[in-house]
Structures are given as C-alpha cells and as structure tokens.
Structure 1
Amino acid sequence: MKKRYILTDLDGTLLRSDQSISKYSVRVLTEALDKGHVISYATARSYISSMKILSTVPWKFPLVLYNGALLYDPVCQKLIDGNFLDTQISNEIIGIGEQNGISPFLFLLDADDKERVYHRKLNRSCDFQFFDSRPNDSRFKKVTPLLFPEDSKTIIVAFIGTYEEVSPIYQSVKNKFEDQIHIHFMEDSYITNNYFLEFSHPLANKKRGLELWCEHVECNTEDVLVFGDNLNDIGMFEEAGSKIAVQNAHEQLKKLACEVIDHHDKDTVAKYISRIV
C-alpha cells in the first residue's frame, strides 16, 4: 500500500455549508486513518471549535490550526509548535482598530497554553453572529481593558465588519507593521456582506503550517495532497505536490490547482480520498 499524506481545509472544503461533516466523510476518514494513511486538517479554526464538529474522527496526526499559527497534538491535546505575534504590536493593533470604531476578538494562549478569546462587550451584529456561532465556547471572555497579558501568546487579532469598515484598519496596520505581521483579509463564509481581517505572526500562515506538519510526520511537502477553497489556502497550494480545489473555490485558488472537483456540499473531498486510498 502506498502511504498517502493528505491535509485538507475545513470550512468550504471538507465541511458542508451548515458547518457539519457527513457520516460518510467520517467513515471514509476513519477507514483511511486505520489503514495507515497520514491525514489531518489545516484550518482557521481553533482546536476547540474544530473538535465540536470533528470529534468523531480519530485524528492521530498534528493539526494545523489558526491558519497555520499553531501545530497541535490531538492525541495528547497539547501545543507542539507555533508562531506568535509580539505582544506590544498586538496591543497597538487593538488601538488602531478602536480608533476606527471596531474592537477586535483576541485569540491567544494564556500562561498555561489554554486557548482564550478576549473581547469587549459585544454591540455589533456581526460580532454577535460570530459569537453565537460558537455556543457554550469556554474560550470566550469579556475583559476590560481589552489587551493581551504579558504572559500570553498572541495567536490572532481579528476584526469583523463590512469592507468599508475594516479597510482603513487594514491600511493603517499594514503601513505601520507590514514586515512584522501576516494579514488575512477575506470575505466571511457565514456572515453575509462581512469580512474577516486577521493579523498574526509573519510565519503564521498555512504555507509554514504545511512545512511544520511535514517535519513532524516525516515527509516532504511535495509528498502531500491538499484540498482547499479560499485565499488562505494559497500557501498550501504553492508548496504541496498535489493540490485539489473544490468547485466553490476562489478563482485564484483554482488557477493553482492540479484538479477542480465537485462542490463541498457533495462530500467531494471524502469521495476523492476514498477513490485514491
């Protein structure tokens, strides 16, 4: 049997539009893992958020989380590796956002490496929608003042808003810290007419996440097959040996793909994996 190395995006790719995974996909992934194939996922989500959906799959290999900022061991449930943004820069970005009328969500690891999401009192519809999409999530905490503690590790400073609302923040932060940050700025898949603007460490991206993953599972990037749909998957597509875009993918990603398969709502990633393993 030829061992396959597979890394898939979640939202818009493996997951369906209602943020769920089908029983068929769970079965295919479980059987492939049981056969010895090396399969995992690279996502913008956290461990807690992704596991609420994917806990029925017996993940064995490192997970690439927060758009590549973290590599996480799902068996021992602990941090393996990561790239964290400077605390002073993080807090300055908060100030730039609030000068433009938007308070961010702060994604961090506390002194015990536990996932946290700090925020001010919510008063905007898009923030409520994001918060409500993660019910009973113990990471979320309202804090005053809204700052990263000195003993924390900054994962992401995330703003949500319309393009017109977050564009000035994007431009101001880019002008001041361009060489010291990584920026994700893309339309949100679930909150209509809103964008996610995220700032993180320069190496906190899926390209570097793929490289770290390969180091830990002991393969080369050209050995890996990746699936994706959005602009944050471009780094993976540039590095991987085989890259598969779903039909609903961004046109820019499709241009980098070796193959474009069916829509993500049709279990297309699982069907492809089933066929090749």
Structure 2
Amino acid sequence: MKTLFVSDLDGTLLRSDETLSQFTIDTINGLTEKGMLFSYATARSLVTAKKVTKGLNSHIPVIVYNGTFVMDNVTEEILIANYFDDGIYDVFCDLFKEGIYPIVYSYIDGIEKFSYIPEKCTEGMKVFLNTRKGDKRTNKVGTIEELTAGKCFYITCIDEPEKLEPFSKKYKDRYRVIYSKDVYSEFQWLEIMPKAASKANAILQLKERLGCDRIVSFGDGENDIDMFRISDEAYAVDNAVESLKKVATGIIGSNNDDGVAKWLRANMGRL
C-alpha cells in the first residue's frame, strides 16, 4: 500500500508564529528520506509557502491557492491549473457596486501578480499586504480595468462581515467560496475561486499522478473539510474548528505542540 500524506500549513503544520519547529522539520525530512510521500495543501501561493516551509525537503508536487494550482515544488512549474471564465466579470461588478475592491490574483503577460488599488484598501487588506512587502508579485494599480486585467484565478476580499456574507451565499453554488476569519489577524475574509478548485480535487489528482493507494490528511479549518472527506484517514489538530473535528478520524496535538510531526513519528510503522 502506497500512502500520500497531505497537511494544511497555517494552523496545522505551522506554529502560531507562522514558523516550523526544528522538530517538525527534522521529523518530516527524516521520514521522507525513508520513502514517505509528504505534500502540503495550502491557501498560500507557492512563493509564500516556500518561505514558511524553508528547511523542509519536499520534492513532490504541492497544492497551493486552496487547490487552484498543483505545482512542482522544485521547478515551480504549474502541473494542474484552474482559471475563471469570463463570467467572473459579473462578480467584479457586483463587488464594486457594494464598495468592495478585492485583491485579485492573475497571470498578466504570463507573470503571476496580485493586484490591488491602494486607495481602496480596508484596514484588513493593509494588514495582510504589510506581510507581503517585497513580494515580486505585488501590482499596485489605479483603475478597475487594471485591477481585473490578465488571466484571473483567485479573488480575496477582506472587509466587514455584513458586506461579505451576502456574496458568500450568492456565489457558493457557482464558484468555490471560502468565508472565514483569518487565523492570524481575525479579519473577515471572502475567497472566491473557480468551481473546480479545491484541496480535495487537487489531492485526488496528485494521488493518481503518484500512483498512491491511500490518503492521510491533517488540517485545522473549514476549508479542510473537503480534503478530510476524500481521505482514508484524516486528523484534526487540537486547535482545529469544531466542524472539522466532527468529520475527523481523530484529534491530535495542536499546531504549537508539533501535532502532525508527532503523529507521523508514532504511526509511520503501521502505514
């Protein structure tokens, strides 16, 4: 039996300070050297995921942007991609009418960018963008036309719940929608992705690509529920939301207590 192990990053593998402990790094590196197939599935881009997982020797593809892309972790080649169709411009019009100006992730002239209008940023957006200072993907724009340019694949809105919640309900059947509070800042986020983009779909495709028989996953948030449902075993860290714990195989130690690494060290012998 060949098992694929997949972990969420923020709130699961990463500690609350957005770092990996040396214990987690050493444990996972040691097990992958012995043949364990370990990947991660994250809402982050590959750029920021690689920064926070520095030291982790993952040579198999990874899942980023909540399943929008599966990418080669070494060459950074996009192996599986999901993009919006032209209907997404109706969504932009809806958002703009309500005074919501999102961060828009697109490929512009073949280069990955995240675009935003500085004058329209909410406090939550400013906090998030401050963590991305120096990011080569940054694209400050001045007009709606520039904001929506390129081949769009991900939209992030950070605003007041009363403004965002109606859109989470309106578009939940048409697109992949995640409505949640940021694990670090507690600001309300609404993330919109192409319908086919999900951690579950990406993991199943990666499972087939690697020729694996089983999936064991780890997570902490509501956006991990679909991943848990397609897994043979799924473990929620102790700090996970209750909705995820309800669909988990079991509860393990928290992200700040190396829960994933300790579980892997204790259970690899039986898998």
TM-score (normalizing by structure 2): 0.92
Instruction: Report the 3-state secondary structure (helix = DSSP H, G, I; strand = E; otherwise coil) of the residue aligned with 2:158.
Output: strand
Contact 2:165 / 2:179 at 8 angstroms: preserved in 1?
A: no
Q: Does 1:226 align with 2:220?
A: no
- Report the counterpart of residue 186 of structure 1 in structure 2: 180
- Runs of 5+ consecutive residues of structure 1 not aligned to the other structure: none
Q: Does 1:258 align with 2:249?
A: yes
Q: Does 1:13 align with 2:12?
A: yes
For the residues of structure 1 that align with 2:74 and 2:196, how far apart are their CA atoms?
A: 25
- Report the counterpart of residue 260 of structure 2 in structure 1: 269
Contact 2:105 / 2:153 at 8 angstroms: preserved in 1?
A: yes
Distance change >3 Å, CA 33–CA 247, structure 1 → 2: same
Letter aligned with residue 191 of structure 1: S
For the residues of structure 1 that align with 2:174 and 2:135, how far apart are their CA atoms?
A: 31
How far off is 1:68 after superposition? 0.6
How far off is 1:79 after superposition? 0.4
For the residues of structure 2 that align with 1:24 and 1:104, how far apart are their CA atoms?
A: 38
For the residues of structure 1 that align with 2:173 and 2:126, how far apart are their CA atoms?
A: 32
How far off is 1:99 after superposition? 1.3
Contact 1:116 / 1:140 at 8 angstroms: preserved in 2?
A: yes
Measured on the aligned residues, the alpha-carbon RMSD in Å equals 1.6
Question: Aligned ranges for residues 1-277 of structure 1 at < 5 Å?
Answer: 3-86=2-85, 88-112=86-110, 114-122=111-119, 123-146=121-144, 147-149=147-149, 152-171=150-169, 173-174=170-171, 179-192=173-186, 194-220=187-213, 223-277=214-268
How far off is 1:169 after superposition? 3.2
Letter aligned with residue 204 of structure 1: A
For the residues of structure 2 that align with 1:237 and 1:169, how far apart are their CA atoms?
A: 26
**Percent identity for Structure 1 against Structure 2:** 29
Contact 1:46 / 1:66 at 8 angstroms: preserved in 2?
A: yes
How far off is 1:136 after superposition? 1.4
TM-score (normalizing by structure 1): 0.90
Instruction: Report the 3-state secondary structure (helix = DSSP H, G, I; strand = E; otherwise coil) of the residue aligned with 1:256.
Output: coil
How far off is 1:157 after superposition? 1.1
How far off is 1:158 after superposition? 1.1
Please list the CA deviations of residues 153-174 of structure 1 after superposition, one character each: whole Å capped at 9, or x if unmatched.
3221110123123123334x42
For the residues of structure 2 that align with 1:49 and 1:130, how far apart are their CA atoms?
A: 12
Letter aligned with residue 23 of structure 2: Y
For the residues of structure 1 that align with 2:137 and 2:168, how far apart are their CA atoms?
A: 26
Letter aligned with residue 93 of structure 1: V
For the residues of structure 2 that align with 1:45 and 1:212, how far apart are their CA atoms?
A: 19
How far off is 1:145 after superposition? 2.4
For the residues of structure 1 that align with 2:132 and 2:258, how far apart are their CA atoms?
A: 23
For the residues of structure 2 that align with 1:111 and 1:34, how far apart are their CA atoms?
A: 39
Contact 1:157 / 1:199 at 8 angstroms: preserved in 2?
A: yes
For the residues of structure 1 that align with 2:232 and 2:112, how far apart are their CA atoms?
A: 32
- Runs of 5+ consecutive residues of structure 2 not aligned to the other structure: none
For the residues of structure 2 that align with 1:189 and 1:197, how far apart are their CA atoms?
A: 13
